[in-house]
Structure 1
Amino acid sequence: MNFNWHPDERPPIIDPHSKAKLDVLRNYLRAYFDRLNVNPSREEFKIDLVDGFAGGGTFRNDEKIVSGTPLIMLEEANAATDRLNENRTKPLRFDYKCYFIEKEATHADHLRKVLSERSYALDDGKIAVRNCLFEDEVEDILTAIKHRQPRAGRAIFLLDQTGFSQVKLTIVAEILRELPAAEVILTFAAEALTNYLANTPQMIAMVAPLELTKSQIQDLIQLKNGNAGRALVQRTLREQIRLVTGATYDTPFFIRPKESRRALWFLHLSKHPTARDVMIQVHWAIQNTFEHYGSGDFGMLGWDTLRDPGTVPLFNFNEMDQEIMRTQLLDTLPRELFSLASEEPVTIDAMRHRFANRTAARYSDLDSIVLQLFREGEIEILGANDRVRSASLQNLRAIDRIVMPKQTRIFFDDLRRDSK
């Protein structure tokens, strides 16, 4: 949806999708700041926050004024400064800088007015409001971040575009290449994407795993407001986006508020697994906001889901979905672990990283299932001293190692031979 701001007028009325996005962003920043600053002896945390389509800074929700993305970034950074220093003997210096990019002059003027009214100084080096296209400014921003953070280059880029074609994926690739610790939140209007797919000649090749006829594929695409069309978007475009951008980790799920039939593809892209785990935790924490069209286990984005477009499963990140996912993972994880650890032990950390993109599970979900398999004797867990850990083990350490017992290896070896 297009919003209009003018410094002499009231802000626009917020829509359900924007409310949901703001809720996700606020929760993510809060959880992310906490996760990266758990070490009480840390003295400094640097981060740059970039909003590439900043808008005017506020919305109306009934008669209440609510913060837009620029204000949320500032509010959460300042709140984290106070929260993270509450119980520290050594103070943490929370050093942030925000870049707010907005191409429309009246929108940028409204944002400056909003910031001034809330006593944010635009000349203190912490906040930069720029009236230009994001693509014209990104090179200067990357240079500034690398100068300010020559080692880490930690940054969050929010690219909340209208439609699906305002952000070139090559720009996202450049961000992740130049700043390995950066992450990008990228949005696409789902219906715009399904329209695009419907008119893409290469579609037949893209959906080859479905083994459907051209007419069947066109029928699938025509379900533009249904689960099948969005599921098709996930399966055909997700890998292409990861390939072009170089993102190692992603969350490829949709936002669809209860009040709306439209959906928004909310992609989180990064090269580090902690960011991915924090984002997937937010998906679970804000139940019934995110949707996924498929299962939550290792078949999360399998093509079989689309063979019957009328029965594409809907996954809402709620308690029932969690129970179903857990049951599925208990059934499939042993075989996956055998493939991973049949030759030599594998650390818990390596297991988490390997499976992160293949399931809707959090690290805590994977750990819980690994612990259950350990207690049931299907796997062994070795500690730092190479001894099997206690059967009463409650919490896994990242350096703990998974070992397949001899009888388990024999069982899966027999299965493998029988399948040949």
Structure 2
Amino acid sequence: MSLKPISWKTGATLEEHSRRKHKVVGEYVARYLTVRCQLPQQSRFRLAIVDGFAGGGRYKCGSPGSPLIFLETLCAATEAFNVKRLAEGMSSIDIECLLILNDYDPETVELLKQNIAPLIAHISQNVPRLHVRPEYFKEKFEVAYPAIKQLIENGSFQNVLFNLDQCGTSKVDIDTIGDIIASFTSAEIFYTFGIETLVTFLNKSDPRALAKKLSPFGVTAKELAELDGLMSKHARLGAAEKIVFDAFRGCANYVSPFSIHNPQGWRYWLIHFANSVRARQEYNNILHQNSSSQAHFGRSGLHMLAYDPSETDSMLYVFDEVGRAQAKMQLHDDIPRFITNYGDTIGVGDFYAGIYNATPAHMFDINSAIIDNPDLEVITEDGGERRKANTIRVSDTLRIKDQRSFFPMFADKTRKNK
């Protein structure tokens, strides 16, 4: 399937999948800034934001595109942080942002400059604690990437966010994704693509491997590739998600392989790449705040890509309250079972690092499942016991109690983690 590029000059239409994606990304960036700018001793935070397929900045309906969303989020965050810090007696914080905007069409870049100019002027005049340096490129992303990387390195930016909202999957090489994550101390990527193009590529490059991945779902590569975007069957979503995860799991420690939820079917994927477990925690939390924006087909506990053909009607997870209730039930058994793989204790930090690439669950649901489980206890560094989910810290220790109501479960070594 060939995806048509957006025509910004004649007025781009904001599709529903893009609206959902913009909301998730915008709220995540706001949360990202909140987490990274909360230390009382901080007086400055530096980051680079790269929009690799920036577009013209504003849609036909007047809604902002991703470059304007990033700037609006930076403005709101900078002002909110400093009002709060002033009220709490802390020093002000300056945010420095290198904003790199690329689009292969020179006319689109000129339109983008026009749409961004008023907001840049507003920041300069009215938001003195926010310092934005826009840089523009007019190349195909893979052509522009070496110069973009060099620009970031020359400025010594280590906090880097890439937004790669492409058409199809051919515009960004998988090795480039890995290079971004590996090149900076704190790098994260939002990566959008259409599933049909990925399936077509894999079917041509390694059809046997693709067939093996699809076989548990009863779906053939031909069926998946010829859906014309209308992926309405849950099993097909599960097959596609497994393909996506396997294709990209080596790019970063944490890969979020969830599709953009669309009533007409699962056609587009929005993947979040990060090496930090905290980043994956916060991303999962944002998805739950935007229930039904993205979709997962599989388990909602600690083995999200496990597939049970007998439970196909109950395995669609759209990050809503129904899904969260189901997740809590699965987490009740999954967490103790995970701990036994290490013995009877594990540090909370190590526990988080070990589970978050395999769960869509909200951080509070995971912590609640720990506190509510009669067979688990959370021990603080000084030997005390945690009794509330929101007090658990990464420096704590998880321990299975000596008297276990579920002990026979662990005696059965042949039981499968489904």
Matched, 1:293 2:297: yes
Aligned residue number for residue 83 of structure 2: 86
Q: Whole-Å Cα distance in 1 between the matches of residues 204 and 314 of structure 2? A: 23
Matched, 1:405 2:401: yes
Pick one of 217, 222, 235 that aligns with 2:220.
Answer: 217
Moved more, 136-145 or 29-38: 136-145
Classify the secondary structure of the residue corresponding to 2:192: strand
Classify the secondary structure of the residue corresponding to 1:57: coil
Q: State the one-letter code of the partner of 2:114.
A: K
CA 1:218–1:253: 2 relative to 1, 3 Å: closer
Matched, 1:352 2:352: yes
Contact 1:371 1:394 in 2 (8 A): no
Deviation per residue, 1:259-316 (Å, 9 max, x gap): x4353111000111121112111111011111112221123112x34x4797583211
Classify the secondary structure of the residue corresponding to 2:59: strand
TM-score, normalised on structure 1?
Answer: 0.86
Aligned residue number for residue 251 of structure 1: 256
Aligned residue number for residue 147 of structure 1: 154
Q: Whole-Å Cα distance in 1 between the matches of residues 164 and 151 of structure 2? A: 18
Q: Whole-Å Cα distance in 2 between the matches of residues 281 and 112 of structure 1? A: 34
CA 1:288–1:133: 2 relative to 1, 3 Å: same
Classify the secondary structure of the residue corresponding to 1:60: coil
Classify the secondary structure of the residue corresponding to 2:392: coil
Where do residues 356-371 of structure 1 align in structure 2 (5 Å cutoff)? 356-371=356-371
Aligned residue number for residue 180 of structure 2: 175
Matched, 1:240 2:240: no
Contact 1:338 1:409 in 2 (8 A): no
Contact 1:352 1:363 in 2 (8 A): no
Deviation per residue, 1:57-97 (Å, 9 max, x gap): 00023xxx111011111111121111111121201111111
Contact 1:273 1:356 in 2 (8 A): yes
CA 1:413–1:262: 2 relative to 1, 3 Å: closer
**1:322, CA displacement in angstroms?**
0.6
Aligned residue number for residue 109 of structure 2: 108
Q: State the one-letter code of the partner of 2:240.
A: V
Aligned residue-pair number: 399
Q: State the one-letter code of the partner of 1:177.
A: A
Q: Whole-Å Cα distance in 1 between the matches of residues 413 and 103 of structure 2? A: 60
Aligned residue number for residue 323 of structure 2: 321
Moved more, 223-232 or 345-354: 223-232
Pick one of 3, 28, 40 that aligns with 2:6.
Answer: 3
Unaligned ranges ≥5, structure 1: none
Q: State the one-letter code of the partner of 1:21.
A: K
Contact 1:122 1:128 in 2 (8 A): no
Contact 1:20 1:257 in 2 (8 A): no
Aligned residue number for residue 330 of structure 1: 332
Q: State the one-letter code of the partner of 2:298.
A: G
**1:409, CA displacement in angstroms?**
11
Classify the secondary structure of the residue corresponding to 1:141: helix
Unaligned ranges ≥5, structure 2: 125-130
Aligned residue number for residue 202 of structure 1: 206
Identity percentage of aligned residues:
21
Moved more, 228-237 or 184-193: 228-237
TM-score, normalised on structure 2?
Answer: 0.86
Q: Whole-Å Cα distance in 2 between the matches of residues 351 and 310 of structure 1? A: 29
CA 1:121–1:99: 2 relative to 1, 3 Å: farther
Aligned residue number for residue 382 of structure 1: 379
Deviation per residue, 1:164-188 (Å, 9 max, x gap): 1111011111111111311111111
**1:138, CA displacement in angstroms?**
1.5
Q: State the one-letter code of the partner of 2:394.
A: A
Contact 1:155 1:181 in 2 (8 A): yes
Aligned residue number for residue 76 of structure 1: 73
Q: State the one-letter code of the partner of 2:399.
A: V
Q: Whole-Å Cα distance in 1 between the matches of residues 415 and 111 of structure 2? A: 65
Q: State the one-letter code of the partner of 1:96.
A: C
Contact 1:251 1:268 in 2 (8 A): yes
Q: Whole-Å Cα distance in 2 between the matches of residues 288 and 397 of structure 1? A: 30
CA 1:382–1:311: 2 relative to 1, 3 Å: closer
Contact 1:228 1:312 in 2 (8 A): no
Pick one of 186, 195, 201 that aligns with 1:190.
Answer: 195
Q: Whole-Å Cα distance in 1 between the matches of residues 312 and 42 of structure 2? A: 53
Q: State the one-letter code of the partner of 2:254.
A: Y
Q: State the one-letter code of the partner of 2:56.
A: G
Q: Whole-Å Cα distance in 1 between the matches of residues 351 and 44 of structure 2? A: 30
Moved more, 286-295 or 121-130: 121-130
Moved more, 287-296 or 90-99: 287-296
Q: State the one-letter code of the partner of 1:403.
A: R
CA 1:145–1:219: 2 relative to 1, 3 Å: closer
Aligned residue number for residue 230 of structure 1: 237
Deviation per residue, 1:72-127 (Å, 9 max, x gap): 11111121111111121201111111000010111111101112244549999700
**1:380, CA displacement in angstroms?**
2.5
**1:346, CA displacement in angstroms?**
1.7
Contact 1:193 1:233 in 2 (8 A): no
CA 1:110–1:266: 2 relative to 1, 3 Å: same
**1:241, CA displacement in angstroms?**
1.1
Q: State the one-letter code of the partner of 1:2.
A: P
Contact 2:328 2:369 in 1 (8 A): yes
Pick one of 262, 269, 273 that aligns with 1:265.
Answer: 269
